[in-house]
Amino acid sequence: MDIIGTITHSITGDTMKKRIMKNRSIVVTALFLALAPAAVAQAEKEMAKPSIYSTADVAWKDGPASLPSGAKLAVLEGDPTKEGSFTMRVLLPDGYKIPPHTLQRWSTSL
């Protein structure tokens, strides 16, 4: 192969590589744009929206035996008896100190 044939072959090979990379970029971009709305919708669905509870809306119940007498609690979100997160508000007697403890799963106490 002469020098001109080598240069032409080299240019053609580089051009093909660029064309392949351009096509791959177009396909990846198209897939990203096609899947992005679904990902955004899922993220919005999973985001917790902040809730505001007035004192009148909270249904207080006596606390469990593990808390001192006079303790009250209200479950605001979720169900503590089922799998998943939950939020509860706790009223404790004056001066009560919460001892160090661990939780078996995620919860939010207010």
Verify that 2 and 37 share a domain, yes or no: yes
Verify that 81 and 107 share a domain, yes or no: yes
Q: Residue 47: what pLDDT?
A: 66
Verify that 19 and 55 share a domain, yes or no: no
For the CA atoms of 5, 6, 8, 11, the dihedral, rounded to the nearest 10 degrees, stands at: 170
Verify that 36 and 57 share a domain, yes or no: no
Verify that 74 and 20 share a domain, yes or no: no
DSSP string, 85-103: --EEEEE--TT--PPP---
Q: For the chain, where are the alpha helices, taking DSSP H only?
A: 3-46
User: How far apart, in whole angstroms, are the C-alpha atoms of residue 34 and residue 27?
Assistant: 10
Verify that 85 and 60 share a domain, yes or no: yes
**Domain span at residue 83?**
51-110
Verify that 25 and 64 share a domain, yes or no: no
Verify that 59 and 107 share a domain, yes or no: yes
Q: Per the structure, how many domains does the chain have?
A: 2
**Model confidence over 82-105: pLDDT tens digits?**
887 788 888 898 988 888 878 776
**pLDDT > 80? residue 107:** no
What is the pTM assigned to this prediction?
0.47
Q: Residue 28: what pLDDT?
A: 87
Verify that 56 and 28 share a domain, yes or no: no
Verify that 79 and 32 share a domain, yes or no: no
Verify that 56 and 109 share a domain, yes or no: yes
**Model confidence over 29-70: pLDDT tens digits?**
888 888 888 777 776 766 667 778 887 888 999 988 888 889
